[in-house]
């Protein structure tokens, strides 16, 4: 019976598909050769995962299971390192992630879609109210604005959770931008709501107040686009 080959962390990192043609990844103490996989061209998978690393934590949140690794050669074993993001996570929560991986990455992406849709729709309906001179469109914009406030608050609560469990709560430029933009967005949503409550027909009154309210509405769209852009840079880095 052939001896099982043992790899060090340095061995794994050296075979990253960039510095040399071989691309290895580790999962739960085992090392796999993904060099021949078209999905790992140049050692990169989906512009998100890089060969030469232990992907145990990352694979738990992937849209596919570890059975995908059965398609590539298994080379040997390596002592798994705990993901830096897992160092301060209670064991009971890690066990929960093992059983239901979607609880790790999915809560935040699920909740951000609602404020994204509402904040894009508010200026759209405001513009329709001006183009067609229909108060109903402005009233719909206000209703969407009201819905945007709690949905944005929910997304802001799941954001720090995702930051903690997936990135170890380590600050970087993308996180800083997202925190800033979401805070500004929430305050502007509140301002817009109070403005329309105090002046219900502001979008129909014309003049500087109408254009100011429209500009405020458009700022919602710009901010959610920025949030989506920097969020995507974290999920699919260039």
Q: Look at residues 46, 81, 116 and tell me which one is the last residue of a structural domain.
A: 81
Output the pLDDT for position 78. Answer: 85
In a domain, 33, yes or no: yes
- For the chain, what is the domain count? 2
In a domain, 152, yes or no: yes
Answer yes or no: pTM beyond 0.75.
no
116 and 39, same structural domain?
no
In a domain, 120, yes or no: yes
Q: Look at residues 81, 113, 133 and tell me which one is the last residue of a structural domain.
A: 81
Tokens matching residue 45: 């998978």
Output the pLDDT for position 119. Answer: 97
- CA dist., res. 112 & res. 115, Å (int): 6
212 and 119, same structural domain?
yes
222 and 156, same structural domain?
yes
Low-confidence ranges of the chain (pLDDT < 70): 1-3, 47, 57, 59-65, 79-87, 235-238
pLDDT tens, 141-196? 999 999 999 999 999 999 998 888 877 788 889 899 999 999 999 999 999 999 99
Q: Which of 110, 105, 99 is nearest to 63 (CA)?
A: 105
Residue 108 phi, psi dihedral angles, 5° rounding: -70, -50
Output the pLDDT for position 195. Answer: 95
191 and 112, same structural domain?
yes
The CATH number of whichever domain residue 38 belongs to comes to: 3.10.120.10
In a domain, 87, yes or no: no
In a domain, 51, yes or no: yes
26 and 113, same structural domain?
no
Q: Which domain holds residue 71?
A: 5-81
Counting residues of the chain whose pLDDT is more than 70, the rounded percentage is 89
Output the pLDDT for position 165. Answer: 81
187 and 111, same structural domain?
yes
In a domain, 95, yes or no: no
In a domain, 218, yes or no: yes
Tokens matching residue 114: 């609602």
Output the pLDDT for position 63. Answer: 60
118 and 24, same structural domain?
no
Output the pLDDT for position 139. Answer: 95
131 and 41, same structural domain?
no
Torsion of CA 213, 217, 218, 224, to 10 degrees: 150
- CA dist., res. 151 & res. 52, Å (int): 39
In a domain, 108, yes or no: yes
201 and 121, same structural domain?
yes
Output the pLDDT for position 1. Answer: 43
């Amino acid at each position: 019976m052939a001896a099982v080959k043992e790899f060090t962390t340095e061995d794994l990192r050296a075979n990253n598909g960039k510095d040399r043609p071989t691309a290895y990844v580790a999962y739960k103490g085992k090392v796999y050769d993904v060099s021949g996989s078209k999905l790992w061209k140049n050692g990169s998978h989906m512009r998100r995962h890089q060969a030469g690393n232990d992907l145990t934590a990352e694979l738990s949140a992937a849209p596919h299971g570890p059975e995908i690794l059965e398609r590539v050669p298994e080379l040997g074993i390596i002592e798994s390192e705990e993901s830096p993001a897992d160092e301060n996570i209670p064991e009971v929560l890690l066990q929960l992630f093992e059983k239901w991986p979607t609880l790790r990455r999915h809560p935040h992406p699920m909740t951000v879609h609602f404020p994204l849709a509402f904040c894009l729709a508010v200026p759209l309906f405001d513009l329709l109210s001006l183009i067609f001179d229909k108060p109903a469109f402005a009233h719909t914009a206000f209703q969407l604005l009201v819905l945007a406030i709690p949905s944005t608050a929910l997304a802001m609560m799941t954001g720090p959770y995702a930051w903690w469990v997936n990135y170890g709560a380590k600050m970087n430029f993308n996180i800083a931008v997202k925190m800033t933009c979401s805070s500004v967005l929430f305050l502007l949503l509140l301002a817009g709501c109070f403005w329309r409550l105090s002046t219900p027909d502001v979008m129909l009154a014309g003049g500087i107040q109408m254009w100011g309210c429209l500009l405020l509405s458009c700022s919602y769209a710009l901010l959610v686009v920025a949030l989506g852009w920097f969020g995507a840079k974290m999920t699919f880095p260039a």
